[in-house]
Chains A and B, each alone.
Chain A
Amino acid sequence: MRILVAMSGGVDSSAVAGLLHEAGHEVVGVTLQLYDHGAATGRRGACCAGQDIHDARAVADRLGISHYVIDRQARFRAAVIDEFAATYAAGETPVPCVRCNQSVKFGDLLELAGDLGAAALATGHYVRRIDGPDGPELHRAADPARDQSWFLFATTSAQLARCRFPLGTMPDKRAVRAAAARLGLQVANKPDSQDICFVPAGSYADIVAKLRPDAVEPGEIVARDGRVLGRHQGIARYTVGQARRLGVAGGQVVVALDAARRRVIVGPRSEGSRQVRLREVNWLVAPGERRCMVKLRARDVLRPAQVTATPGGAHVLLDAPALAAPGQACVFYDGERVLGGGFITAEPAVDAPAAAALSPPPCRPLGAANGGVAQR
């Protein structure tokens, strides 16, 4: 079977290419050039391609498979980087990896797979695709520490049907490195990539400042009642739930961002809401009303909730109030399985957290015996 493998140059996708090749498939490696590496790292004279592309080619050469570098800089810029900055400017907290998965990875690469007569697209994501009675299902990875299912919630059923995730069943990263080493891949001991690929050395605010200077304009830090508590250097530096960089009394966190007035609004951490509205919802089961667990950010606990599909998205009623950051994803789980998810929408500012009066119900995963207990 001809399989297209998205090769980033890292150990995970290299191992995928190696394992599929070993299994006798005709593996075609593809590496996306998403941004000018030289410009991103600020190193003058650095090749536009960067070390990762060289590593991917070296792995492909070592395996003796075809490998191609595909330029998607313009598309990545529009679909991911510009959106990243615009989301911050709107007072929200983006998830660029989801946007990238939606556009270049599972959009463009699946189309390429079709054009090349490849039966499937394989990636190095840590998730499991399981064929269920009603078609392919998306499940959390065997290794909870590596699970990336939250980032893949937007993958549609049609896309999932043509995807393969060989690392989803790996017990842990060590096993992946061992496989890479056994296959003689040079990247077996390459360090894991950190943070966001197009942000050099963690200074994402610089990129936002360049694209959307309005997002780093100084403004006021205020309480819910409007009292000015301090100043900030741009709403892009804040996200709902954040305690750092506030310079206010302990226990206070960001509870909302008001982009129009460039205000960071703070309050006690307990000031959450049970209501979360979602847009751009992707369902991997029939849309409807469900009791399930939800996860409001990549490294969050699973929270019990009632999810209801609405014409424009979905409405989530959490059992217990929480601070949901607009722009982040809310992903629905039934045990190990991903049911769908959407992007959190900013609610119109509410002065009194009405939900706080309600007593939180027991925090118990529903729908599966061991649902999500591994987090934390």
Chain B
Amino acid sequence: MAYLDANASEPLRPQAREAMLAALDVTGNPASVHAAGRAARRVVEQARETIARRFGASAESVVFTSGGTEADALAVHGLAAGRRLVIGATEHDAIRAAAPGAAVLPVDREGVADLAALERLLADGPPALVCLMLANNETGTLQPVEQAAAICRRFGATLHVDGVQAAGRMPVDLAALGADSLALSSHKLGGPLGAGALLLGTAAALVPLIAGGGQERGRRGGTPSLPAIAGFAAAAEQARDGAYLAELRDWAEAAACRVGAVVCGGAARLPNTACLALPGMRAETQVIALDLAGVQVSAGAACSSGKVARSHVLDAMGLGALAGEAIRVSLPWNATPADVECFVVAYVEMAERRKARGFAPNR
């Protein structure tokens, strides 16, 4: 068995597990005035400081959410303030669904956003809220966020950055990026499911999605999930740079390419992610064939019914038929050479079986 679907969810880091177990025994609501409440509040505030320090923000700018999707939705709804929306063509559905009428910033064949197009888009029209991801979930392609931030500043636009896939796998610093907000997700860096954060770079006013009891300085109502937040912070402390995974990833990629795979994505990308198209074989068939061989990868965006939908990311990159024939191999923080070996054996067998059957590509 090899779990190579880290971009869907990372395995829990042991430090996160410990922190969560400790937090489970903390009785009390962080909003309560008594001693138990203060103890609970201490857990949340320590986590807040950790997250702030790790990602280049101030503690008071950290808004805990239920996860990356809520952080993205909160940014789009809460920072827009009447601005028009501009989003990258390969953004995650967390952004796309929150910004249905947005102008779309095209990407090139490697999936990199066209900054000249961004300038043109911002040059005419009222102020905008721009959403651009740091790293793409399907291809790992990195976006030139710092340059985009400079352009946004020049035109008075606000920039929200979806850092969900990048955080923990490469250095991420909100201040250095020069963006206005950053969305993070706990389970994409080895923390538990059910926690995330929106970090605010400036004193920008944020309109809450959920007002509730005024928690998180009135920016996100609802009692925060202490254990999840504690685990999130502990994992963030551990997850700093995934560069050590690049060697394993490159091995998997090279082996796949020898039997006909095509690598999709940019030169600059996450060290753990490989997007591999196998011409003539449907992505869903590949995912199933590999799963039956004990190798867990994914393709496109998974619907709640579990079926594989065509990838809007690869379509936006103009890959044509390859867009329906690409899988994502994403190495978790604890990937081993044995995992990659397992993948390589299964992938080669799958590709050769296809070749032996000699069927015409089913497009």
Contact = CB atoms under 8 A, between A and B. Distances in A.
A66 interface: yes
Contact of A116 (B289, B305, B308, B309): B289
A114 B358 CA distance: 11
B291 A66 contact: yes
Interface string B278-309: 00010011001101100000000001111111
A66 B285 contact: no
A111 B363 CA distance: 13
Contact of B304 (A47, A71, A117): A47
Contacts of A111: 359, 362
A70 B289 CA distance: 13
B301 to A, nearest CB: 12
Among the interface residues B306, B307, B353, which one has the most CB atoms of the partner chain A within 10 A?
B307
A115 B353 contact: yes
A84 B21 CA distance: 59
A114 B362 CA distance: 13
A57 to B, nearest CB: 7
Contact of B307 (A66, A69, A115): A69
Place the interface of chain B in its size category: 20 to 34
A115 B281 CA distance: 9
Among the interface residues A28, A53, A71, which one has the most CB atoms of the partner chain B within 10 A?
A71
Contacts of B281: 115
B353 A47 contact: no
A33 interface: yes
B217 interface: no
A53 B292 CA distance: 20
Nearest to A69: B307
Interface in A47-61: 47-49, 53, 57
A68 interface: yes
A65 to B, nearest CB: 11
Interface in A66-124: 66, 68-71, 108, 111-112, 114-117
B307 A116 contact: no
B306 A112 contact: no
B354 interface: yes
B359 A114 contact: yes
A68 B289 CA distance: 11
B260 to A, nearest CB: 14
Nearest to A114: B357
Nearest to A54: B305
Contacts of A2: 292
Nearest to A50: B305
B285 A112 contact: yes
A28 B292 contact: yes
Contacts of B308: 70-71
Interface in B31-80: none
Contacts of B285: 112, 115-116
Interface string B335-363: 00000000000000010011001010010
Nearest to A118: B292
A117 B352 CA distance: 11
Given A33-B305, A33-B307, A70-B307, A117 B288 contact: no
A70 B354 contact: no
Contacts of B309: 71
A66 B353 CA distance: 20
12 contacts: A2-B292, A28-B292, A68-B288, A69-B307, A114-B353, A114-B359, A115-B285, A115-B354, A116-B285, A116-B288, A116-B289, A117-B292
Given A70-B284, A70-B308, A117-B353, 15 more contacts: A2-B292, A28-B288, A33-B307, A47-B305, A48-B305, A49-B303, A57-B306, A68-B284, A68-B307, A69-B305, A71-B308, A71-B309, A111-B362, A115-B281, A115-B353
